[in-house]
Structures are given as C-alpha cells and as structure tokens.
Amino acid sequence: MNFAAERAEMGRRELAVDPAAGPVESFAHELRRLRVRAGSPSYRALARKAGYSASALSSAASGTTLPSLDVALAYAGACGGDPRQWEARWQQARRELTDINEPVTDTPPVRAGAAGKPGDPLEWTVAADEAGYAGPYRLRRLIGAGSMGRVYLAFTPGGRAVAVKVIRADLAEDAEFRRRFAQEVAAARRVHGIFTAEVLDADTEGLRPWCASAYVPGPSLQDAIAHHGQLPAESIWLLAAGVTEALQNIQAAGLVHRDLKPSNVLLALDGPRVIDFGIARASDATHLTRTGIQMGSPQFIAPEHLLGHDITPAADVFALGGLIAFAASGQGPFGDGVDPAVLYRVVHEPPSLHHLTDELRELVEACLHKQPEHRPELDAIITTCGERSAATSLKLSSQWLPTAYLADIQRRIATVATL
C-alpha cells in the first residue's frame, strides 16, 4: 500500500504526516500504518485496549512530538505490535532527536541492564532505580505494557525467572492509587493455586512501585488466538476448568478478579494461569479514571459493573463466559465496533453464540446471564467441564493444546534459557 492509500485508510480527520520529514514524523507514520494493519480501529476502541485516553493515543500518532515510551508501547500493543520492536523504534527515534534537539515527551530513562549491550532491544530495561533492577530483580526483557505500567521478564538473585510489573511514574505520584495498590497487592499475595501466577514480592512504597509474580513461559490467550486460531473443544473444556479453579482460589482469598479477559490468561505446558487478580481494583476511583484512562475490556465487563451496581464474584463468572466464547471463536460474544455500542449490547442484548457447539453454548449462555444471581456457581462449572470432557476426565497433560500452541510455548522456554 502506498503512502496516499494509507493516508486514505487512516481517515480524513488525521492530518497527513510525511515520514521523510524527520524522526518524529516517521515514528508517527509507522504507528498509523500499524493501526491500518489492525483494521483501522477508532481511537476510542484503541483507548479501551491500551488503557490511555483516545486523545493521548491520537496525539502519539500526530507527528508533532515523540510520545512517551509508555504511550507508544500501549498504542502499539493495542494494535498487535511487538513491544520489543516498538521499544527499539522509539529508542532509535529518540537518539535521532537528541542529535537535532527536537522535542521529546518526558519519559523515564531507558538504559542497558547489567549484562546488556547498548543498542540491543532485548536488553533495554527501565526500573525503579533506573539501573536495570526493581528491588532485587534484574530486569532483562520487556514482555508487555498496559494502562498501569510495563511488565518485564526478570530474574531473582538465584536465577529464577519472574514477571515484574513496574507502575507508571504518573500513577506513582497518586497517593490514593498507592494506598489501594498496596492493599490489593497484600490481598493478592494471599492467593495460592496451581492455575494462578502467584504474587511473590512487591514494593509499594518506593519511587516506582512494582510487584513480582511467577513467570509463565507462554502466550496470553489473546495473543495465541490471534496467531494460531481458536482452540478445539477438548482444549476449551480444560481451559475453562483451569480458569474456574483459579477463580475459586482468588475468591477464597476474599478477592474478585474484576478484569478477567484473554490477555490476563496465560497458556503454559501444564495448563492455564490467571494473572493480575485483584490488582485492577487499585485503579478504581483514582487517577486512572479521573484522567480518562479506561479499565477493563467491554466484552468481558458484567452488566452490573457497567450499571454501577455492587461487584460480586458473579462478575468473574460473566467474564469467564466471554472468555470461553472467545477461545472457541476468536471473537467476543457481543460483537465488535465502538465501545458504546458494545457496552449497550452487553447490558441489553443477548450474546451471539451461533459459532459455539451446543455443549459450549449452554455453559456460556448460563455464565452470560444478565442477572448475576442466575449465573452458575464455580463448583457447578467445573462439574460441567468434567461431564463434557469425559475422554480426558479433566486430566491435563503436556499435549492439552494444539501443536502450534505448544511450539510457541517451547520457543519461549528456549528464549528464556538464553538470557
């Protein structure tokens, strides 16, 4: 696609950006191209995925200044971009701007880790102390970015791999966010279970708060579906049972996940892992919502949550229903489009489940009931999964996923071993 065609695809309301004009314009142009390849979603739709306001994302691709790294990675991630590649592009643009003294949006310094080499994107890290560490954990590789901060593959002093989430600098300055974050981290550390990625350590008082969880060498359900297609029924029953057991462990600790969605379920050789349980609550009624940053994914937010009613464990059951539908079809149960339209369908219209098998549809319909008191209990869901998966008796093995999924996981395991 040539530049003129790409410009037409991007819409009439965005001013043209000449990629040859300079590093800022070139970076903005590449962001726009990524958005086109993602299907040209609206900035409102991107905001829901990225966790930043639509205006912040639009500004990132305006070509006037280089956006902060956090915003750039959130934009790229929402469009399906590789965070490592986009961090490398951002760093290159920043170096070029430093040479010609053009404006750059403030962002924390990014330096090579203790064993890193300048210019190697796999080694660039940013930490609470800006020296390649968050507490005792050596940060080695960026593996994700979202509305609360960036996530790094890191290692303990003894060499065990962990995932460290470093909170954004602006959130670290919000006293109410810090208070709630500390409470939720303390609660999350009480959660123990085979199908959860346990919170191992945290610093909620430092300059840049962070928390460390067990590292899971596998893709998220969202990324796996995007790259390898939907799961077969036999894998979905095992997925559903594992996620349900994780929800039991989370609820036993007195928590409601509140943000269960495909990107918060990781796929490992020995079953699924639920991540970010309870932490999302730290963002409620704080700096995030006051600045227009949106939490959650509309396809997986329970109607009572959207209507401002009390949030109970039944909200996680609703999200589980959406998760199962997504795993089976690669799409959410309430269609695509701008967020207000999707949210309206979540509250007022029945889900679209024609692509599901009869057995899966029966379970998903029950989980997606508009009234929380009519949704099934977690014990009943596990029983249903067992009855529908009699061939495996819900016994996970290293072959519980299709071959392409397993190859992806093995590749990640091999990559970690080389760091």
Residue 345 neighbours by CB under 8 Å, 6+ apart:
334, 335
Contact criterion met (CB below 8 Å) for 301 and 340: no
Distance (Å, whole) CA 13 – CA 279: 37
Burial string for 205-229 (b: 16+ CB within 10 Å, else e) reads: eeebbbbbbebbbbbbbbbbbeebe
Report d(CA 152, CA 142) in Å as an integer.
4
Alpha-carbon separation of residue 100 from 22, 66, 104 (angstroms) = 10, 13, 11
Is 358 catalytic? The answer is no
**C-alpha span between 32 and 151 (Å, rounded):** 24
Judging by beta carbons within 10 Å of its beta carbon (0-12, 13-18, 19+), is residue 333 exposed, middle or buried? buried
Among 70, 259, 316, 408, the one annotated catalytic: 259
Rounded CA separation 203/166 (Å): 10
Residue 347: which of 327, 328, 329, 370 has the closest Cα? 370
Asked if residue 217 lies in contact with residue 201, where contact means CB atoms within 8 angstroms, the answer is no
Q: How far apart are the first and last CA of the chain?
A: 37
Residue type, 374: H
- Residues with catalytic roles: 259
